[in-house]
Amino acid sequence: MSATTQTPVQPSNHPFDVQDFLATRAAAVNLALDRFLPSAAAKPATIHRAMRYSLFAGGKRLRPALCLAAAAACGADEGEAMPLACAVECIHTYSLVHDDLPAMDDDDYRRGKLTNHKVFGEAIAILAGDALLTQAFEIAAQCRGWPRYSHQRVVLELASAAGSLHLIAGQVADVEGEGRRISIQQLRYIHERKTSALLRCSVRLGGMSANCTAAQLKALTDFGCNIGLAFQIIDDILDVTQTSQQLGKTAGKDAASQKATYPAIVGLKKSRALAQRLTRRAFSALKRFKGKAGLLEGLAEFLLSRDR
Ligand code: GRG
């Protein structure tokens, strides 16, 4: 049993295999990303090799999977969501490359491999992160838009999640909070921006690519907010309960760098209970889909019980 599943949040009665969904969609996303990105040989080759090194280092592709599953819940072909799923993954990978830099978390391992700056040097790692962020918008810009969601609306959604009010805001608060006692409210502020914003954006973009109704978008937003926060709480728990080998990155880093985390503030037991409560709320948000959001439910369950 994994560290995070003492009591099931809800009986698993999904007619599909989440692991299989993740594996097949990761393969499809990898294929699409490979097509969207300049080849490793394109000049200057160093930057394209560095971008590809981190992008294809073996990430779980959870954000693209959520994006594709949200499109399916709204009755659309997953193919409509694929460019946006790839754009989100590029932003996520850029944030990891920059987060690992000596000026940030200073990490040597990510996704089970040496971090980008350890292989290519700091200057190229910074540029690879910049290029992945830019690449995300180049990919998203190729979307034609949908009747309820214009091309402009979709690009704005992505920019807002990645910008200084969300992803970057969370990172700034995280950096400024290091070594200081912060409240649970401040920690929630960090997690909602640093982690939850991009997960929420992933499901919202999936819905938009399916031309979802306003009510469906609201339900997806509620789902995304809840699983986003639960995801980071589980990440905090795994940092103390798993090994570096299991995580593919340095375990115990949060405590070593005196970072505020849910386990540090409320303890492991309460942290697990909170992640379970948030996942239950996420399930409730899906009621509107009347049984058509089984993939999203399965993914939420998986995120709660994951061990890496
Ligand atoms: C812009 C520098 C900069 C940072 C933005 C997202 C972020 C803030 C920093 C990344 C590091 C971090 C602790 C992020 C929180 C989200 C998180 C737990 C990421 C790991 O996500 P997984 O488990 O990773 O989905 P894989 O490798 O599977 O894609």
3-state secondary structure the chain: CCCCCCCCCCCCCCCCCHHHHHHHHHHHHHHHHHHHCCCCCCCCHHHHHHHHHHHCCCCCCHHHHHHHHHHHHCCCCHHHHHHHHHHHHHHHHHHHHHHCCCCCCCCCEECCEECHHHHHCHHHHHHHHHHHHHHHHHHHCCCCCCCCCCHHHHHHHHHHHHCCCCHHHHHHHHHHHCCCCCCHHHHHHHHHHHHHHHHHHHHHHHHHHCCCCHHHHHHHHHHHHHHHHHHHHHHHHHHHHCCHHHHCCCCCHHHHCCCCCHHHHHCHHHHHHHHHHHHHHHHHHHHHHCCCCHHHHHHHHHHHHCCC
Q: Is the peptide bond before 44 cis (omega within 30 degrees of 0)?
A: yes
Mean pLDDT computed over 212-233? 97
Using pLDDT thresholds of 50, 70 and 90, give the confidence band for residue 3: very low
| Phi, psi angles (nearest 5°) of residue 14 | -80, 140
Query: What is the reported pLDDT for 223?
Result: 98
Largest Cα–Cα distance of the chain, in whole Å?
53
Whole-angstrom Cα Rg for the chain: 18
Ligand 1 contact via 224 beta carbon (within 6 Å): no
Beta carbon of 95 within 6 Å of any ligand 1 atom: yes
Judge if the beta carbon of residue 195 lies within 6 A of ligand 1.
yes
> What would the pLDDT profile of 235-281 be if each residue is shown by its tens digit?
999 998 888 888 888 887 877 777 889 999 999 999 999 999 999 99
When pLDDT is cut at 50, 70 and 90, the band that residue 24 belongs to is very high
194 CA distance to ligand 1 middle (Å): 8
Angle between helices 294-305 and 18-36 (to 10 degrees): 100
Return d(Cα 187, Cα 248) in angstroms, integer: 24
Cβ(48)–Cβ(55) below 8 Å: no
pLDDT of residue 4: 37
Q: What is the pLDDT of residue 247?
A: 82
Question: Tell me: the pLDDT tens digits for 64-83?
Answer: 999 999 999 999 999 999 99
- Asked whether 167 lines ligand 1 (CB < 6 A), one says yes
What's the average model confidence in pLDDT over 278-289? 96
Q: pTM here?
A: 0.93
Ligand 1: centre distance to CA 233 (Å): 13
Query: What angle do the packed helices 151-162 and 197-209 form, to 10 degrees?
Result: 170
| Ligand 1 lined by 54 (C-beta under 6 Å) | no
* 94 neighbors 57 (Cβ within 8 angstroms): no
Give residue 300 CA to ligand 1 midpoint distance, Å. 18
The whole-number pLDDT of residue 15 equals 63
pLDDT in tens, 84-120: 999 999 999 999 999 999 999 999 999 889 999 999 9
Query: What is the pLDDT at residue 13?
Result: 55
Which ligand 1 atom sits nearest the alpha carbon of residue 105?
11
Span 118-123, mean pLDDT?
98
Average per-residue pLDDT for the chain: 92
Nearest-atom index, ligand 1, CA of 96: 10
* 237 CA from centroid of ligand 1 (Å): 15
Does the pLDDT of residue 5 top 80, yes or no? no
Residue 106 CB: number of other CB atoms within 10 A? Answer: 14
For residue 138, the CA-to-ligand 1 centroid distance in Å is 21
Q: Is the pLDDT of residue 43 over 70?
A: yes
Q: What is the pLDDT of residue 11?
A: 41
Report pLDDT for 6: 43
Who has greater pLDDT, 286 or 249? 286
